[in-house]
Structure 1
Amino acid sequence: MCSQLRARVKVTDPTGCPLASIGDGADDVRLLSRTIDRSGQRIDLLASERNLSTEHDAISPQFSYGTTTVYRLETDASECVCRSPEHSGVPIERVDVTDDGLCYTIYPSSLEELEDVLSALRLHAESVKLVQLVRDDADLEEEAYRVLDVTRLTDRQREVLRTAYRMGYFSYPRETTAREVAEALDIAPSTVHKHLVAALGSVLESLYGTER
């Protein structure tokens, strides 16, 4: 049976993204749909309970239901951070506009594909964080739905874990050593070991709880 990955990725301060600039300190804007017209303009439909008409010259209200209004935003996003996940071929479930950027919910086919998306996004933003990773595996029965809460890791733990993974530290046979990972990060091997143990401990606790 196949397994499915679902990831939530937080992008902070993406460069030149008109959609992210609408957030303006509030988490109350959601992207409903996105299309590209014949001229290459990107057309977004946004939903919000606040008035977005003054946020951008290209925003116009379309209709309202209850306290929510749906807006149309037309932009030329040829150099926007949004191109990274859209052009990767990874299915996008939703995009939320946060107080300081965007949050994508995507379905990568593998961890390698997820890392490719994260790497592409990092070229256009101040920071990119994987805030949630869910794996739905039909072969696991009672463990079929697990949430990896990576927010429990510090920025340094994530950096060490990511570097060790990319250098093949977790491959079999192992392609690098803790000393080589330490040299790449300009830290002591003992520090690498400390961060790896702490990071893996947090991930395993997220998967299996505190019972041993």
Structure 2
Amino acid sequence: MASGIRATVKFTDPDGCPIARRSESATGAIDQASTSVALPGAVGSVTEFLVPGDDDGEDAVFSYGTATVFRTVHEGDVTCPCECLGQFGCPVHRYVADDGDLTLVFHAADFGQLQEVMGELGDRFEDVDVQRLLHPPLEGPPEERVFVNRGKLTDRQREVLEAAYRMGYFERPKRANATEIAAELDITQSTFTEHLVTAQRKILEDVLEGSA
């Protein structure tokens, strides 16, 4: 079985998501939700989730003191991100809803499926933000290898980074210094340094996130 890709995606106030809607009145984040399961003899699925400090609503099924279990029945219409993922067979690893926003951690089989899923999510929901992508390594624990999102770089930052790499700025000894690379790009040395430092910081955010 392929190890696939684990994606963390955030939705700002997604329409049709019962977990996000309930999180608007909850006293804390909702981070305990069951995987949707098929109802016996019926079309659709059911999702149960634990809401801190909220016991009001017809879909409330059980109270745990200061928290309440809610149950939502899906009739087969795709109205929320989780149902959309279900169409692609992507298992959801974790749900976190807080103040109306929803963060999902899910698994895609490969980059092709991930692109297809993200395209569909982008079409259905207005504000979708990819927070993190992880690809398990061939050796060692899965968290040791990360997907670096080059899309976070501006065109100029990427141009500076590529020029610095191509001209040997990162080699020891250096084959080119900051002044030479800045001249090649027809920019000042301070501008080169600013873009290079920003680009490196953005990449290191992906590489080192969660390791500190």
The bucket for the TM-score relative to the shorter chain is: 0.5 to 0.7
1:45: which partner in 2?
48
In structure 2, distance between residues paired with 1:47 and 1:87: 24
1:32: which partner in 2?
34
Would the aligned equivalents of 2:61 and 2:70 in 1 still touch at CA under 8 Å? yes
Identity %: 20
What does 1:132-171 align with in structure 2 at a 5 Å threshold? 132-139=132-139, 145-148=144-147, 153=152, 157=154
Would the aligned equivalents of 1:33 and 1:46 in 2 still touch at CA under 8 Å? no
5+ long unaligned stretches in structure 1: 162-193
1:130: which partner in 2?
130
Q: How large is the RMSD of aligned CA atoms in angstroms?
A: 3.9
1:205: which partner in 2?
204
| Distance change >3 Å, CA 73–CA 198, structure 1 → 2 | farther
Would the aligned equivalents of 1:25 and 1:98 in 2 still touch at CA under 8 Å? no
In structure 2, distance between residues paired with 1:17 and 1:77: 14
Cα displacement string for residues 143-184 of structure 1 (whole angstroms, at most 9, x for unaligned residues): 96134576x938xx59xx9xxxxxxxxxxxxxxxxxxxxxxx
Would the aligned equivalents of 2:97 and 2:103 in 1 still touch at CA under 8 Å? yes
* Corresponding letter in the other structure for 2:119: S
What does 1:177-188 align with in structure 2 at a 5 Å threshold? none
* Corresponding letter in the other structure for 2:35: S
2:9: which partner in 1?
9
Would the aligned equivalents of 2:148 and 2:203 in 1 still touch at CA under 8 Å? no
2:100: which partner in 1?
100
Q: How many residues align?
A: 168
What does 1:57-136 align with in structure 2 at a 5 Å threshold? 57=58, 59-64=59-64, 67-76=66-75, 78-81=77-80, 82-136=82-136
What does 1:187-198 align with in structure 2 at a 5 Å threshold? none
SS class of match (1:31): coil
1:178: which partner in 2?
none
2:186: which partner in 1?
none
Deviation (angstroms), 1:198: 8.9
| Distance change >3 Å, CA 134–CA 52, structure 1 → 2 | farther
User: Normalization by structure 1: what TM-score?
Assistant: 0.61
* Larger fraction in strand: 1
User: Normalization by structure 2: what TM-score?
Assistant: 0.61
| Distance change >3 Å, CA 122–CA 25, structure 1 → 2 | farther
SS class of match (1:107): strand
SS class of match (1:123): helix
